[in-house]
Amino acid sequence: MLAQGLLALAKGDAVGAKLVLSRCLKLAHRRVGNTQLVAQVLNVLGPLLASQGDREGADQMLTSSATLSRALGDAPSLLAALRAACEAGIGTDAEQGAAYLAKKEGQLAERVGDVVGSGAHAELVQVIHAHWPDAPLAGHLP
């Protein structure tokens, strides 16, 4: 369902995407109970709402996503929520949000560096980089 919503967005069907993503959010929350999926859907829905002029709804969704991601220790999702909020100009203090985002990106880069430096993960990191050069963390890979 998440893929369907993203496909609808890519095709320019914001209304259809919103409907599919809303159903996906309900399913992920109520039936599946997957908190990480909930955070991901909120990261997609937040900017969509902001683009439609619903800044309050976007703020709530991105704040919830950031809270869930922080609790799960899911740094990439947390960064995605913070980045989306900064880009949409959502939040009480954009300067503070940008500083926090920069801090978290630095921490993530440090963690990725640790993983790249460990022999156990080096082959996996190289495979990911070779097959997905524009991965969100590609800038942190060798």
pLDDT tens track for 6-30 = 888 889 999 999 999 899 888 888 8
The model's confidence at residue 61, banded by pLDDT at 50, 70 and 90, is very high
Compute the distance between CA of residue 99 and CA of residue 102 in angstroms, rounded to an integer: 5
Compute the distance between CA of residue 1 and CA of residue 37 in angstroms, rounded to an integer: 11
Whether residue 75 contacts residue 104, with contact meaning beta carbons closer than 8 Å, is answered with yes
